[in-house]
A and B are shown apart, each in its own frame.
Chain A
Amino acid sequence: MKYSYYPGCTLKNKAADLDLYARKCAEILGFELEEINEWQCCGGVYPLGSDEIATKLSSVRALNDAKEHGQDLVTLCSACHHVLKRVNDDMKNVSDISDRANNYLALDEPYRGETKVLHFLEVLRDVIGFDELAKKVTNPLTGKKIGAYYGCLVLRPGKILEFDDPENPKIMEDFIRALGAEPVVFPYRNECCGAYTSLKEGGISQERTKLIFDSSNGFGADMLITACPLCMYNLNKSEADSKIPVYYFTELLAEALGAKEGNS
């Protein structure tokens, strides 16, 4: 099984771990991530303005590249996943945006949202299956109590991303269970970490991450996992007393599959 793969800027740089472990694990699990040629940054934020086209074009190019390869498009970063899925929805369902983007790009064949965008976790859940994943685990993370920190971008808006129930998700908890660890459900798992405001004013993200750590720690989590480099950054910068370690979900996956030692 071969997928088109959109790593995004951060995974080529500060979040190289997220990318590296994902590729290794994919190999073990029997699928291949084929990086798209000359992909461009998705912009990190989906342009909410319904009249913006230019800011969506880089996503359309990536989506169309996957279409031309006849492959589904896999993402890892929460932001890329969010932007690509939403732009794809625009291309499929919002004729005004779709028409204008196509006019601008002048592709051989207009792109109308044909590509299926999948988050790496969705591949694990919907293609591989968590039961199958559990069978491939050689180094179960037994005894670890892990809180899944979803954040915002991977879940909302639920109707368009169709990733999981935005108010009560369970995909990452099922993932944790498949790795042999114990998921810790906490109510702040889908609450914002402060997002981009940490660049100019750290106060908001300090306040938000404290709530996240207090809640997850309070419910007994030893560590958190995330799929979002920005969440990772904000959580790491937290000065909360209740702070616990945070990992990319792929790092724990690699550990459970025995792909971490000696390679990292």
Chain B
Amino acid sequence: MTKQEIEKKVELIKEISGCDPYKCMKCGKCSGSCPSFNEMDVKPHQFASYIINGDIESLVGSQSLWKCLTCLACIERCPRNVQPGKLIDAARQLVERERGGDHLLADDIPELIDDDVPQQLLVSAYRRYRR
């Protein structure tokens, strides 16, 4: 990515999330709260610094985008109102808004579901994994 592209994406993440990564004091309460911590390669307490340092490539390429459960625990508990969950969600949307960014294909669904799957699961997964 060029410097301009990075800057543009940083701005976009800030805009989509409505969050200010500079408010982060690196306390780690988000990572201390996250139920998906062990699944993530970039950890919740690192989201803000990745954005501040412009390491967007690593962030949007990270598995963490798809491991966040949107349980909002980090958002509820963040003492600085940084809301890391919103930052990673913005990065995910950045990916999904680009062509080919979908993480779930309609054709795959029949194989994934069983008789008990509630509609809520399907619509949620659709929202989370696809534009």
List residues of A whose CB falls within 8 A of some B CB.
8-10, 12-15, 41, 43-45, 47-51, 55, 77, 79, 152, 156-158, 166-167, 191-192, 194-200, 204, 208, 228-230, 232-233, 236-237
A167 and B76: CB pair below 8 A?
yes
A199 and B121: CB pair below 8 A?
yes
CA distance A55 to B15 in the complex (A): 17
* B 80-93 binary contact with A (CB < 8 Å = 1; else 0): 00000110011001
A157 and B36: CB pair below 8 A?
no
CA distance A199 to B16 in the complex (A): 26
| 30 residue pairs bridging A and B, Cβ less than 8 Å apart | A9-B119, A10-B120, A14-B116, A44-B120, A44-B124, A48-B85, A48-B89, A49-B16, A152-B73, A156-B72, A156-B73, A157-B72, A157-B76, A191-B73, A192-B71, A192-B73, A196-B124, A197-B69, A199-B117, A199-B122, A200-B112, A200-B129, A228-B120, A229-B121, A230-B118, A230-B124, A232-B118, A233-B116, A233-B118, A236-B116
Chain B residues within an 8 Å CB radius of A9: 119-120, 123
Chain A residues within an 8 Å CB radius of B104: 199-200
Residues B18-74 near A (CB distance < 8 A)? 18, 35-36, 39, 66-67, 69-73
Residue of B nearest to A12 (CB): B119
A-B residue pairs, 9 tightest by C-beta: A192-B71, A44-B124, A44-B123, A156-B72, A9-B119, A50-B18, A196-B124, A14-B118, A229-B118
Looking at A45, A199, A204, which has the most chain B CB atoms within 10 Å of its CB? A199
Chain B residues within an 8 Å CB radius of A167: 76
- Given A15-B118, A200-B125: A194 touches B76 (CB 8 Å cut-off): no
Q: Which of A13, A156, A191, A200 touches B118 (beta carbons < 8 Å)?
A: A13
Count contacts on B: residues with CB < 8 A to the other chain.
37
CA distance A157 to B76 in the complex (A): 6
Chain B residues within an 8 Å CB radius of A156: 71-73, 75-76
Q: Within the complex, what minimum Cβ distance (angstroms) separates B127 from chain A?
A: 4
- Given A195-B71, A230-B118: A204 touches B36 (CB 8 Å cut-off): yes
B85 and A195: CB pair below 8 A?
no
Chain B residues within an 8 Å CB radius of A41: 119, 123
B72 and A79: CB pair below 8 A?
no
Q: Within the complex, what minimum Cβ distance (angstroms) separates B126 from chain A?
A: 8
CA distance A78 to B112 in the complex (A): 23
Q: Which of B15, B116, B127 touches A45 (beta carbons < 8 Å)?
A: B127
Chain B residues within an 8 Å CB radius of A200: 104, 112, 125, 129
* A49-B16, A192-B69, A208-B35 known, 14 other contacts, Cβ within 8 Å: A12-B119, A15-B120, A43-B127, A49-B17, A49-B93, A50-B17, A152-B71, A167-B76, A196-B125, A199-B113, A200-B129, A229-B118, A233-B117, A237-B116
* B 85-120 binary contact with A (CB < 8 Å = 1; else 0): 110011001000000000010000000110011111
Looking at A10, A49, A232, A237, which has the most chain B CB atoms within 10 Å of its CB? A49
